[in-house]
């Protein structure tokens, strides 16, 4: 028997401390409901669970993002529904104006209602808003059409309707080449609208922008109202965006502006000069050579005298002069339109996706990871975007053209509404998938981090009993040295 060291007491004390630590750990798990309360509890499990937790929280946020996206597409669809009704009414009026029983005054009355409907369409497009985003004023075409998200190019054809242009079938060659020209621009990722201006009239006559080749061809054909005065410079000056004609054509915001002149004249019958017009089209108003702000000008010269009349205009703006010997036949004209001109416009405009077009694209974060995005392409549902900015029913011919333009607009609005409906359905399916993924990830995280309360309660009860017995045995072990006193007494 020893006095200095009570080994039994020391052993009991050690066991009691271990039991107390176990009881403390059980109390921590029972009070928090978590199996892992600190890194030491399960280092590997903690790392895995935190990664899963980030995934779960990301999926939950993606779920809310998609609900916001659905709300945006519903807002856009609601605005387009109103616009569609107004375009349908405009077509109805155009059909009415086409009737030969109407007088000029009757058509003027119809035109007044058309103008109000145009204003109403622009009001809806400009005021349809979701959290500061206006989905119906954006410059991105539908992804279901060729050329989606392409660089925007607004092209104006200046047509010389003088006798020599008509007599040599040069105008017919231009008309025949328009479809190939429009297709060529689309294939080169250029989102092109084309307007037409007659440079051979006493009072300038024009047709607004359209992206439809049939409408453009019809515009060129119906503008054949020539007089003896050919005024290329004067009409070009009036067709810049801030000009008398330019304000009516419906240029798109942020688009590349390009002029194409078809003529065989070598002089100006009206006011203006090549130098003054070159300065106007040169972006810096300082003739130092082509820069990206210029309105690029291309000239199809059908006469030898015109071959040198417009070189300053094309050189200054970065365009090109197609000389008479290059376009001597109808096939030459069509080839230059469909191939050379489309290549030149692509090269000078940069082609591809424009920064302005990018503004019309929204990316919804629909998953928990960096690349989990869904692209939403917005719409330009203004009258300019629908190609009905200049719709007129002043004459029977205008009313017939208006019907064609409005048919195109109705088809475009219908496709845009279909697009937004497809977006909504896709987002709903993605939402279902994300909620399911979040549930499964939460279940996996729970198995790692959550405490099994029944098991922990059993462990706590066992350890609590051990602690109480340990305390009793500790007291007993401390009494063992008392036996030495009995020996000393004897």
pLDDT confidence bin for 260, thresholds 50/70/90: very high
Domain presence at residue 28: no
Domain presence at residue 184: yes
**What digits encode the pLDDT tens for the residues 144-178?**
333 344 578 899 999 888 777 776 678 888 888 88
pTM over 0.75: no
| DSSP state string for 110-168 | HHHHHHHHHHHHHHHHHH--BTTB-TTB-----TTSTTTTPEEEEEEEEE--SHHHHHT
Highest mean pLDDT among 28-32, 269-273, 356-360: 28-32
| DSSP state string for 424-462 | HHHHHHHHHHHHHHHHHHHHHHHHHHB--HHHHHHHHHH
pLDDT confidence bin for 124, thresholds 50/70/90: very high
**What digits encode the pLDDT tens for the residues 420-439?**
999 999 999 999 999 999 99
As for how many domains the chain has, the answer is: 1
Domain presence at residue 21: no
Looking at per-residue pLDDT, the higher value among 49 and 355 belongs to 49
Domain presence at residue 168: yes
Domain presence at residue 403: no
Collapsing DSSP states into helix, strand and coil, what is residue 237?
helix
Burial class (CB in 10 A: 0-12, 13-18, 19+), 176: middle
Query: Which CATH number fits the domain that encloses residue 310?
Result: 3.40.50.410
Domain presence at residue 245: yes
Domain span at 249: 139-359
């Amino acid at each position: 028997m020893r006095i200095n060291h009570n080994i039994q007491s020391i052993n009991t004390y050690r066991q009691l401390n271990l039991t107390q630590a176990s009881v403390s750990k059980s109390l921590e798990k029972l009070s928090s409901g978590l199996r892992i309360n600190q890194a030491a509890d399960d280092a590997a499990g903690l790392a895995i669970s935190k990664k899963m937790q980030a995934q779960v929280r990301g999926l939950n946020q993606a779920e809310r993002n998609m609900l916001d996206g659905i709300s945006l597409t519903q807002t856009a669809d609601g605005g387009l529904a109103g616009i569609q009704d107004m375009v349908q009414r405009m077509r109805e009026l155009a059909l009415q104006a086409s009737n030969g029983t109407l007088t000029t005054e009757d058509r003027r009355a119809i035109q007044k209602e058309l103008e109000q409907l145009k204003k109403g369409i622009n009001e809806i497009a400009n005021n349809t808003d979701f959290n500061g985003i206006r989905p119906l004023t954006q410059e991105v075409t539908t992804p279901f059409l060729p050329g989606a998200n392409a660089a925007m190019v607004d092209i104006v054809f200046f047509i010389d309707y003088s006798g020599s242009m008509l007599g040599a079938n040069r105008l017919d060659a231009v008309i025949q080449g328009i479809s190939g020209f429009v297709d060529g621009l689309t294939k080169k990722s250029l989102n092109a609208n084309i307007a037409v201006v007659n440079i051979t009239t006493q009072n300038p006559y024009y047709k607004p922008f359209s992206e439809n080749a049939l409408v453009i061809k019809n515009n060129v054909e119906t503008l054949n109202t020539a007089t003896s005065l050919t005024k290329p410079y004067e009409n070009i000056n009036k067709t810049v965006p801030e000009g008398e004609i330019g304000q009516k054509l419906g240029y798109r915001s942020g688009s590349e502006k390009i002029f194409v002149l078809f003529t065989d004249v070598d002089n100006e019958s009206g006011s203006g000069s090549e130098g003054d017009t070159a300065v106007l089209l040169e972006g810096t108003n300082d003739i130092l050579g082509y820069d990206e702000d210029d309105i690029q000008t291309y000239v199809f010269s059908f006469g030898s005298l015109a071959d040198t009349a417009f070189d300053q205009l094309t050189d200054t703006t970065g365009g090109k002069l197609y000389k008479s010997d290059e376009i001597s036949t109808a096939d030459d004209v069509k080839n230059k339109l469909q191939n050379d001109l489309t290549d030149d416009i692509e090269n000078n405009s940069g082609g591809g996706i424009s920064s302005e077009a990018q503004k019309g694209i929204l990316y919804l974060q629909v998953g928990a990871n960096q690349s989990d995005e869904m692209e939403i392409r917005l719409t330009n549902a203004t009258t300019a975007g629908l190609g009905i900015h200049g719709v007129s029913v002043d004459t029977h011919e205008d009313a017939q053209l208006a019907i064609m333009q409005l048919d195109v607009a109705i088809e475009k609005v219908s496709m845009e509404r279909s697009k937004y409906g497809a977006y909504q359905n896709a987002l709903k399916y993605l939402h279902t998938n994300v909620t399911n993924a979040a549930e499964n990830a939460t279940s996996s995280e729970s198995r790692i981090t959550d405490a099994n309360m029944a098991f922990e309660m059993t462990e706590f009860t066992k350890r609590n009993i051990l602690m109480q017995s340990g305390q009793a045995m500790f007291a007993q072990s401390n009494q063992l040295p008392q036996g030495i006193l009995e020996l000393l007494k004897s």
